[in-house]
Amino acid sequence: MVVAAGLFLSACANAEEPRVSDPTQKPDGFVNATEYIHGLKSDVRYVGNNNFIGRPINGYDASVCYLTIEAADALAEVQAKLSGFGLGLKVFDCYRPARAVANFASWARDLDDQIMKSEFYPNVAKSRLFELGYIAERSGHSRGSTLDLTIIDAKTGEELDMGSPWDLFDSLSWPSDPRPSVEQRGNRALLQTIMLENGFRGIKEEWWHFTLNNEPYPDTYFDFPIR
C-alpha cells in the first residue's frame, strides 16, 4: 500500500508540471498577453534603455509580454473586473529569459557600472542588491507566470500613483511601506487585493510583482528569447 501510494503521489506530482524537453524553446502553453487579453497595455522596459542597467537586456529582442495561458487567463479576470470601474492594467515585464537574469546578476557584480543609480537605486549601495533581494541568480519571471504591472486609467492611459516608480530598488517600493500618501497606499491596496483575489501572490519588496499561485511550470526556468 505504501509503495502504491508513493507511486500515485509521484504520478500526481509529474502530472502537475508539463514535461519540457528544451527550455530554450517557447512551448505552446505561452501566449502574447497583450493580444490575448482585451485592453491590456504594456511598456516592456528591458527591450530599451529605460531600465536600471541603462541598456537593452539580453534575450529581449521585442516588446512582447509572454505569459503561460494559465497566468493570462487569471490576469484577464483582473482586467475585466477593473474595466468595470474605468481602469485597466499595464505590464512592465512578464516572462523573462534566464539569460536576462544572468545579465542582471553580472551587472550587479560590476560595482563600477552605476550610470542609472540616481534613478533606480539612489539610497541603496549597489554592493547590497543581492543581499537585499533586489537582484537574484534566478527569477520566477523565467517560469512564465510572474509579471510586473500597475493599474491605469483606461481612458487616458495614465498610471495610478503608487508612491514609487516601477523597479525602484528601495524600501519605498515595499507594499507595506508607510511613507506613501493615503491615496497612494489605497492604489497599492487595490492592486494587491484584486491580484490576490484572482489567484496571484505578491512579494514584500515590490508592489508591482505577482506570481500565479498554481503556476504550471513551478520548477522550469525557460530561456527562449522574446521575439
CATH number of 118's domain? 3.30.1380.10
* Residue 32 domain-assigned (yes or no): yes
* Residue 30 domain-assigned (yes or no): yes
* Residue 222 domain-assigned (yes or no): no
CA dist 155 and 204 (Å) reads 30
Q: Taking the model in full, what pTM does it have? A: 0.91
CB 225 within 8 A of CB 30: no
Q: Is 206 annotated in the active site?
A: yes
* Residue 225 domain-assigned (yes or no): no
Q: How many domains does the chain have?
A: 1
In tens, the pLDDT along 174-183 reads 999 999 999 9
pLDDT of 20: 79
Q: Alpha helices, DSSP H only, in 17-120?
A: 33-36, 69-83, 98-109, 117-120
State the 10-residue block means of pLDDT for the chain, 227 residues long: 38 59 91 98 98 98 98 99 98 99 98 98 98 97 99 98 98 98 98 99 98 98 98
* Residue 97 domain-assigned (yes or no): yes
* Residue 181 domain-assigned (yes or no): yes
Q: Which domain holds residue 208?
A: 2-212
* Residue 60 domain-assigned (yes or no): yes
CA dist 44 and 56 (Å) reads 11
pLDDT of 7: 36
CA dist 118 and 50 (Å) reads 13
* Residue 221 domain-assigned (yes or no): no
pLDDT of 16: 65
In tens, the pLDDT along 67-105 reads 999 999 999 999 999 999 999 999 999 999 999 999 999
CA dist 202 and 167 (Å) reads 15
Residue with cell 495610478: 160
CB 63 within 8 A of CB 42: yes
Q: Starting at the edge strand that comes first in sequence, how are the strands of the sheet with 87-93 ordered?
A: 41-42, 87-93, 146-153, 209-212, 200-202
pLDDT of 129: 98
Q: Kindly name the residue from 119, 137, 206, 215 that is annotated as catalytic.
A: 206
